[in-house]
Structure formats: structure tokens, C-alpha cells
Structure 1
Amino acid sequence: MQVEIWTDINCPFCYLGKKRFHDALDEFENAESVQVTHRSFELDPNVPEGTSGDVVENLSKKYGRTLEQAADGERQLAASAREAGLEYVTSGRDMGNSFDMHRLLHWAKELGRQETMLDALYAANFAEPEPLFGSSDRLVEVAVGAGFEEAGVREVLDDPTRYAQDVRRDEAQAQEFGVQGVPFYVFDRKYAVSGAQPVELFTQALNQAWADRPTPTLIGEGDACGPDGCEVPR
């Protein structure tokens, strides 16, 4: 069974949703047969590359809130994150263009280490006070700290065309699905879950998608090999 998850590094609910989904997946009896792929979604692709802005100030301007109201929202998110067992820095975090991070995630997917890269980027953004956005050197530091080779990371970051089409394909698919926000989970291209839902709902989605997997309809039967060997026709 395939589960595709559209996310953005800027998104705190993606950070929280990842933990809740994996808590459900850890208890799912068929977890070893579930393939998880993280797909790209930019919350604000118009943010200039190479820039970094304060999260609280950005939330205040974007939603017409006071700075204190925006800061209180961050504190509420931190409480939810900590309840799920995650660290969350409530002040000093930054936001910015995430396109290069999505390119790195596609590169890590080729290496079979997409989860490792995503966890490292989430931790750097939500659990560490040092700014993450606007500096390729910071991205290199985070990736190398997660065990990726520095030369490979820089090679991707130095070539803006690397994996750019992969990111755009993910975003185009999200648009076809009508995705308006993230996180967005798609189970076998049949069922979908939107938002950082409780663990119980992810468990329900996994069970339902697994039960409804398509079963091939046999339209012909002939000589074949099985566990007991191959019967030679007489």
C-alpha cells in the first residue's frame, strides 16, 4: 500500500502530523507493506529565495493579528507538539522559501533516506533556535548533521535545475487533487486525509485503505510454479 504525503517545511501542522501518522503506522500490523512517500508543496512560493523572515511577524501581517496573538498561537502549537512528544521553539523561528529543501528531499528519496532528511529539516526548523531559511550553508550543515555527504548536498544546492521538475510535478499533482493546504495524505490514490489529525483517525485510514486494496480478478489459469514446486505437464 502506498501513502503519499504532501508537506512543506514551513508548516507546523506537517511537523505535528508526521509524528501522529507515524505513531499510527508503528502500531499498524501491516506496516512493513506500507510505502510512504513525501511530496512537495510550497505554502508560499512567492517568498524570495535567499531571504529569511520572523515567523511571528509574518503570521501577524498575514492574518491581521497582533504580535501577541501570533505569539500565543505559536505557544499553543508548541503545547500540541510537546503533547505528541516533539520539541518546539516558540520564539525566534524564521520562515522563507522552501524550494531548495524540497529539491533536497527528492535527492534523499533517490538515496532511500527521505525520512531522514525530512526529520532533520523539521528539527532544524521547529526544535532549534538557529534560523534555517535563506542560507544554503545552513542547509548543508543540517543535512551533513543527519549523515549526508557534504559534497552531494552542495552539488544539489548549487544546481537549481536538479530535481526542480520533480518538485513541480508534485505540486501539479496536488493541484489536480484540489489540495488547498497541508499536510495532505493520500492512501493508494483512493482515500485522503487532510490536516494533522489525531492518531486514531490515521489508524482508521490505514485500516480502511488496507481492507479496500484492489484484488486481481482471475480471468485465466494455466501451468504455474508454486511453493511445492513446478508440475511438469504430462
Structure 2
Amino acid sequence: MQVEIWTDVNCPFCYLGKKRFNDALEKFEHADQVSVVHRSFELDPTVPTGISRSIFEHQSRKRGWSEVEVDASERQLGAAANEAGLEYSVSGRDVGNSFDMHRLLHWAAELGRQEDMLDALYLANFADATPLFGSADRLVEVAAGAGFDADEVRAVLDDPERYAAAVRADERQAQEFGVNGVPFYVFDRKYAVSGAQAPETFTQALTQAWGDRPAAPTLIADGDACGPDGCEVPQ
């Protein structure tokens, strides 16, 4: 069974939702037969590249919030993250354009290490007050700290076309599914869950999706074919 998760590194609920989903998956009876793929979704693709904005500046622009309101929101998010067993820095966090991060996630997926890259980016954004956005050097530093080759990371970042089509394809698919917020979980392209739900909700979704899988394809036609013993040609 495949679970696709649309997310953005800017999204604190994606960070929280990943932990809650993983908690449910770890206890799922068929976890070893579940493939998890993280898909790209940019919360605000209009943000210019190469800049870093504080969470206060961002929320002030987007929502008109005061510094007190932003602080209260961050503390509430931090409490939820801590309750789930995650680190969360309630001050100093920044936001920015995440397109290059999504390209790195597609590159890491080819290496079989997409989870490692995503975890590293989440921790750098939510558990570390050091700015993450707007600097290729910072992305290289974060990825290298997670065990990725720094030169290979920089090579991906230096070529804006690498994996760009894959990111756009994920985003088009999200539009076709009607996704307007993340995290968004799709189970075998049949069921969906929106938001950082409780682990129990993810357990229910996993169980339902697994139970609705066909035991085996129904054979509706049989004919000449090749097998382990070779190809028998009709006489």
C-alpha cells in the first residue's frame, strides 16, 4: 500500500503531522508493506527566492497579526509539538520560498533517503532558531549534517532545472485532488486525510485502506505467456 503525503517545510502542522502519522505507522500490523512518499506543495510560491522573513513579519503581512498574537500562536504550536515528542523553537523561526527544498526532497527520494532529508529540514526550521530560508549555504549545511554529500547537494541547488518538473508534477496532482492545505495524506489513491490528525485517526485510515485492498487481481483472460521455465510456443 502506498501513502502519499503532500507537505511544505514551512508548515508546522506538517512537522507535527509527520510525527503523529509515523507513530501510527510504527504500530500498524502491516507497516513493512506500506510505502510512504512525500509530495511537494508550496504554501506560498509567490515568495521571492533568496530571502528570509521572520515568522512575525510573515504573519503580520498575511494575517495582520500583532507580535503578541504571533507569539501566542507559536507557543501553542510549540506545546503541541512538545506533547508529540518534538522539539520546537518558539522564537526566531523564519519562512521563505521552499521550492529548492522540494527539489532536494526529490533528489533524496532517488537515494532512498527522502525521510532523512525531510527530517533534517523540519528540525532546522522548527527546532533551531538559525534562519533556514534564503541561503543555499544553509541548505547545504543542513543536508550535510544529515549525512548527505555536500558537493552533491550543492550541485542540485546550483541547477534550478533539476527536479523542478517533479515538484511541479506533485503540485499539479494536488490541484487535481483539490488540495488547498497541507498536510494532506492520500492512501492508495482511494482515501484521504487532511491535517495533523491524532495517531488514532491515521490508524483508522491505514486499517481501512489496507482492508479495501484486493487480495489478488481477478484474471479475466488467459493466453500465451513466458514464465520461469521459458516460453512455450503453440504448435
Deviation at 1:223, TM superposition (A): 11
Matched, 1:154 2:154: yes
Instruction: Determine the C-alpha separation between the residues in 1 that align with 2:125 and 2:221.
Output: 55
Structure 1 residue 221 displacement after superposition: 6.9
| Residue type at the aligned position of 1:219 | I
Other structure's SS at 1:166 match: helix
**Equivalent residue of 2:133, what SS?**
coil
Identify the residue that residue 26 of structure 1 maps to in structure 2.
Answer: 26
State the one-letter code of the partner of 1:116. Answer: D
Matched residue SS, 2:181: coil
- Provide the C-alpha distance between the structure 2 equivalents of 1:221 and 1:9, rounded to a whole number of angstroms: 48
Give, as a single letter, the amino acid of the residue that structure 2 aligns with 1:218: L
Secondary structure, in 3 states, of the residue corresponding to 2:36?
strand
SS in 2 for 1:213: coil
2:189 corresponds in structure 1 to 189
Find the aligned partners of 2:36 and 2:103 in 1 and give their Cα distance. 17
Q: Which residue of 1 aligns with 2:220?
A: 219
Residue 227 of structure 1 corresponds to none
Amino acid of the structure 1 residue aligned with 2:128: E
C-alpha distance in 1 between matches for 2:158 and 2:224: 55
The structural deviation recorded for 1:129 is 1.1
1:8 aligns with 2:8: yes
Matched, 1:93 2:86: no
Cα deviation 1:135-177 (Å, max 9, x = unaligned): 0000000000000001110110000000000000000000000
**1:37 corresponds to which residue?**
37
**1:69 to partner: Cα distance:** 0.8
Hey, what does 1:119 align to over in structure 2?
119
Q: How many residues align?
A: 225
Distance 1:27 1:119 in 2: 20
* CA distance in 1 between partners of 2:133 and 2:106 (Å): 18
Letter in 2 for 1:104: L
- Give 1:48's aligned residue: 48
CA distance in 2, matches of 1:220, 1:51: 59
Give the gaps of 5 or more residues in structure 2: 226-235
Q: Distance in 1 between matches of 2:11 and 2:29?
A: 29
Look up the match of 1:129: 129
The CA distance in 2 between the partners of 1:129 and 1:112, in whole Å, is: 28
Separation in 1, partners of 2:162, 2:221:
46
- Which residue is equivalent to 1:204? 204
**What is the CA distance between 1:67 and its match in structure 2?**
1.3
Instruction: State the one-letter code of the partner of 1:5.
Output: I
Q: Deviations over 1:204-228 (max 9, x none)?
A: 000000000134113357999xxxx
SS of structure 1 residue aligned to 2:189: coil
Distance 1:223 1:168 in 2: 41
- What are the Cα deviations for residues 19-60 of structure 1, in whole angstroms up to 9, with x where unaligned? 000000000010000000000000000000000000122112
Paired residue type of 1:36: V
CA distance in 2 between counterparts of 1:157 and 1:183 reads: 25
| Inter-partner Cα distance in structure 2 for 1:41 and 1:67 | 27
* Cα distance between partner residues in 1 of 2:219 and 2:53: 58
Q: TM-score, normalising length from structure 2?
A: 0.93
Identity across the alignment (%): 72
The 1-side partners of 2:32 and 2:48 are apart by 40
Q: Indicate the RMSD between aligned Cα atoms, in angstroms.
A: 1.6
Which residue does 1:229 correspond to in 2?
A: none
